């Protein structure tokens, strides 16, 4: 027979309301009471029905993860991070992939929020950076936290986890410069992602700080994909004065660039150094393994979810956090070959 909340309350010697407060992680419950209820839950193998709670009460216990990103590794890391925090804090997760460029995207998202009675949303780029989407969500008083590229918190930031992509790009470019590289190229990601702009700004800043010329044709526009890395690298490598190093806007692009260089018979890193960004599984599955920038997306997603729920419960006055990614030096970067 299925164990009910009544059984847990009876076993623990508390009221049904107290059991509900504990399972909902509500504040102001004594630790001794929490321990008693959790002991009963474990002994009886009780599993709260979060869907029933949503239907029966005025509060929602479902967090939505809305994304438009072709990178499966990124999506899985974000999903796992959000799910981990949801489980810890007594919430469920609703996953909603979408097309950020669709004409009806604002209507789609507002309808979904209302229909699912969401407690809040975790928004990732480019959705988290789209003013029209944010305005539509604000219009229906939706709770959301944004994961965005940036370094400065101000009154307009709102509830967010900022990833200082610019700092990461400065650091990884400086690594190449300190190895002795001067002719360095940049393979860009999608232009509608703020991370692309921030990473390019970091690359530019490092080059300028070291008084190195930035060749206009060394900055190649592209997308966050392996194929874009292949295409961009082929364009760079056919030149007589080809660069000695490439900074790729993410690891997929870097892996594509590495593949293109190997097709040309080049030895990495002796003939050319290639570095990425994000420290995704791509960076560890290539040969050689990629030097990159460590960006633990699962941890960032956990931070965002915890911030969203704490803010909803009025348990924090904190609106934003900043994560600073740092380089991970592996085998795809070295001193330039002496000519």
- Check: CB of residue 176 under 8 Å from CB of residue 335: no
pLDDT-based confidence at residue 90 (cuts at 50, 70, 90): confident
For tokens 């870097």, name the residue.
254
pLDDT-based confidence at residue 9 (cuts at 50, 70, 90): confident
CATH 1.10.260.40 maps onto the chain at 5-48
Q: What is the DSSP string of 169-221?
A: HHHHHHHHHHHT--SEEEE---TTSHHHHHHHHHHHHHHHHTT----GGGEE-
Alpha carbon distance, N-terminus to C-terminus of the chain: 78
Is residue 339 predicted with pLDDT exceeding 70?
no
pLDDT for residue 48: 62
Is residue 238 predicted with pLDDT exceeding 90?
yes
pLDDT for residue 269: 96
pLDDT-based confidence at residue 55 (cuts at 50, 70, 90): very low
Cα dihedral angle (274, 278, 284, 288), rounded to 10 degrees? Answer: 10
Is residue 150 predicted with pLDDT exceeding 70?
yes
Which numeric CATH code is attached to 62-163+296-324? 3.40.50.2300
Q: What is the pLDDT of residues 262-300, one digit of tens each?
A: 999 999 999 999 999 999 888 998 999 999 999 999 999
Q: Helix/strand/coil (H, E, C) string of 23-57?
A: HCCCCCCCHHHHHHHHHHHHHHCCCCCHHHHHHHC
Q: In whole angstroms, what is the distance from residue 75 CA to residue 73 CA?
A: 6
Least confident of 6-10, 98-102, 144-148: 6-10
pLDDT-based confidence at residue 57 (cuts at 50, 70, 90): very low
For tokens 């330039």, name the residue.
336
Is residue 163 predicted with pLDDT exceeding 50?
yes
CATH 3.40.50.2300 maps onto the chain at 62-163+296-324, 165-294
- CATH superfamily of the domain spanning 165-294: Response regulator (3.40.50.2300)
Is residue 45 predicted with pLDDT exceeding 80?
yes
Q: Provide the 3-class DSSP secondary structure of residue 9.
A: helix
pLDDT-based confidence at residue 24 (cuts at 50, 70, 90): low
SS3 of the chain: helix, strand, coil, percent, to 5: 45, 15, 40
Is residue 50 predicted with pLDDT exceeding 60?
no
Q: Helix/strand/coil (H, E, C) string of 95-164?
A: EEECCCCCCCHHHHHHHHHHHHCCCEEEECCCHHHCHHHHHHHHHCCCCEEEEEECCCCCCCCCCEEEEC
- Which tokens in the block code for residue 124? 């990732």
- Check: CB of residue 292 under 8 Å from CB of residue 263: no
Least confident of 41-50, 213-222, 259-268: 41-50
The bridge status of strand 92-97 relative to strand 62-67 is: parallel
Least confident of 5-9, 56-60, 99-103: 56-60
CA angle 267, 293, 239 (to 5 degrees): 40
The bridge status of strand 120-123 relative to strand 144-149 is: parallel
Bridge partners (DSSP) listed for residue 287 = none
Is residue 56 predicted with pLDDT exceeding 80?
no
Average pLDDT over residues 107-129: 89
- Which tokens in the block code for residue 107? 């209507």
Q: In whole angstroms, what is the distance from residue 72 CA to residue 119 CA?
A: 26
Q: In whole angstroms, what is the distance from residue 136 CA to residue 127 CA?
A: 12
- Which tokens in the block code for residue 33? 């009471």
pLDDT for residue 69: 80
pLDDT for residue 71: 79
Average pLDDT along the chain: 89
Q: In whole angstroms, what is the distance from residue 326 CA to residue 170 CA?
A: 10
**Residue range 5-48 in CATH 1.10.10.10:** no
Cα dihedral angle (75, 325, 280, 97), rounded to 10 degrees? Answer: 10
Average pLDDT over residues 186-194: 92
Buried b or exposed e, range 192-211, using 16+ CB within 10 angstroms: ebbbbbbbbbbbbbbbeeee
Q: Kindly state the DSSP code that residue 218 receives in the 8-state scheme.
A: G
- Check: CB of residue 133 under 8 Å from CB of residue 106: yes
Average pLDDT over residues 99-127: 90
pLDDT-based confidence at residue 317 (cuts at 50, 70, 90): low
Q: Provide the 3-class DSSP secondary structure of residue 313.
A: coil
């Amino acid at each position: 027979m299925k164990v009910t909340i009544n059984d847990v309350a009876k076993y623990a010697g508390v009221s049904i309301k107290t059991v509900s407060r504990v399972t909902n992680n509500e504040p102001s419950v004594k630790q001794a009471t929490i321990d008693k209820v959790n002991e009963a839950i474990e002994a009886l193998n009780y599993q709260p029905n979060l869907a029933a709670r949503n239907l029966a009460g005025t509060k929602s216990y479902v967090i939505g993860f809305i994304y438009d990103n072709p990178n499966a590794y990124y999506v899985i890391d974000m999903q796992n991070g959000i799910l981990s925090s949801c489980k810890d804090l007594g919430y469920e997760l609703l996953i909603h992939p979408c097309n950020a460029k669709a004409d009806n995207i604002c209507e789609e998202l507002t309808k979904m929020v209302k229909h699912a009675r969401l407690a809040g949303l975790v928004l990732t780029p480019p959705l988290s950076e789209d003013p029209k989407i944010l305005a539509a969500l604000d219009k229906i008083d939706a709770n959301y936290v944004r994961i965005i590229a940036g370094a400065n918190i101000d009154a307009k930031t709102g509830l967010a986890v900022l990833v200082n992509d610019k700092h990461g790009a400065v650091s990884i470019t400086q690594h190449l410069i300190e190895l002795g590289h001067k002719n360095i190229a940049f393979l860009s990601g999608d232009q509608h992602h703020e991370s692309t702009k921030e990473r390019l700004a970091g690359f530019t800043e490092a080059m300028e700080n070291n008084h190195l010329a930035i060749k206009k044709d060394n900055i190649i526009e592209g997308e966050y994909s392996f194929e874009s890395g292949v295409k961009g690298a082929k364009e760079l490598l056919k030149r007589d004065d080809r660069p000695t190093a490439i900074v790729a806007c993410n690891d997929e692009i870097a892996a594509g660039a590495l593949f293109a260089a190997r097709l040309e018979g080049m030895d990495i890193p002796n003939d050319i150094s290639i570095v990425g960004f994000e420290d995704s599984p791509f960076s560890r599955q290539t040969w050689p393994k990629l030097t990159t920038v460590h960006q633990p997306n699962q941890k960032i997603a956990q931070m965002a979810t915890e911030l969203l729920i704490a803010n909803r419960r009025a348990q924090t006055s904190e609106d934003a956090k900043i994560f600073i990614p740092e380089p991970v030096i592996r085998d795809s970067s070295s001193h330039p070959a002496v000519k």
